[in-house]
Structures are given as structure tokens and as C-alpha cells.
Amino acid sequence: MKKSLFFFVLAITTCLAFTNAANAQLDGCPAPANLTVTAQDDGSVSFDWDDCGCSSPVYRVYYENNGFSGPVYSTGSSSITVSGLSAGTYRFYFYTVCGEGMSSIIIEDIII
């Protein structure tokens, strides 16, 4: 019984440690703020957002359309143009990776 209780407590402690580490990492960088669409035409869309002011940020952007996930784009600047899009509704995801960790994800729906 003592052995089972020991392993149970060890398992719970380990799970809590991983959960807290994951949450701390997600709060490490500011998410892209004031996201705006700066241009849009047939097949492309351009976005702009405020710079996070964090150390060596890399902004990552990806999209989904009808269950298809597009590539993950990475940029060091606070703007991006995604082209090669067909007509349809796209859900774009934006997040920041920096020396402090990773931000939460910002979602923007766009109709092309």
C-alpha cells in the first residue's frame, strides 16, 4: 500500500511540475498586439502588428483552410505577407517566440 501511495504522489507531483513549466513558458513573451490587415487581394493578405519589445523575437504565423494547415512562416519583423492563397475562409494563427519563451496564440479569420 505504501509503495502504491508513493508512486501515486510521485505521478501527481510530476504532472503538476510539467503543467506549471508549460504555463510559465506560454507567458514568457507578449503575443502580437494590435494585429491589423494592411492589404488584401486575390490570393494574398498582409498583416502588421506591434513589436513585442522582447529579446530576439521570432514571430510565427500559420493558417488553416478547410482542414488543411499551411506552412509555418517565421519572421523577425512585425509584418508579413502570405500569398498563394485560393478563394475561401482562412484562420490565421500568430504567436511570438523569444528568449523568455513563447506567447499565447492570436487568431484572425480572413475571407479571400
pTM: 0.74
In a domain, 17, yes or no: no
In a domain, 24, yes or no: no
DSSP 38-102: EEEETTEEEEEEE----SS-EEEEEEEETTEE-PPEEESSSEEEEE-PPSSEEEEEEEEEETTEE
Q: Grid coordinates in use for 88?
A: 475561401
Please write the tens of the pLDDT for every residue from 53-81: 988 999 999 999 999 999 999 999 999 99
Taking the C-alpha atoms of residue 53 and residue 62, their distance in angstroms, rounded to an integer, is 22
Give residue 73's pLDDT. 98
Alpha carbon 109 to its chain centroid, in Å, reads: 14
In a domain, 20, yes or no: no
Domain that holds residue 70: 29-111
In a domain, 68, yes or no: yes
In a domain, 3, yes or no: no
In a domain, 60, yes or no: yes
Is the model's pLDDT at 5 over the cut of 80? no
CATH number of the CATH domain containing 63: 2.60.40.10
In a domain, 18, yes or no: no
In a domain, 23, yes or no: no
Please write the tens of the pLDDT for every residue from 21-42: 333 335 689 999 999 999 999 9
Number of domains making up the chain: 1
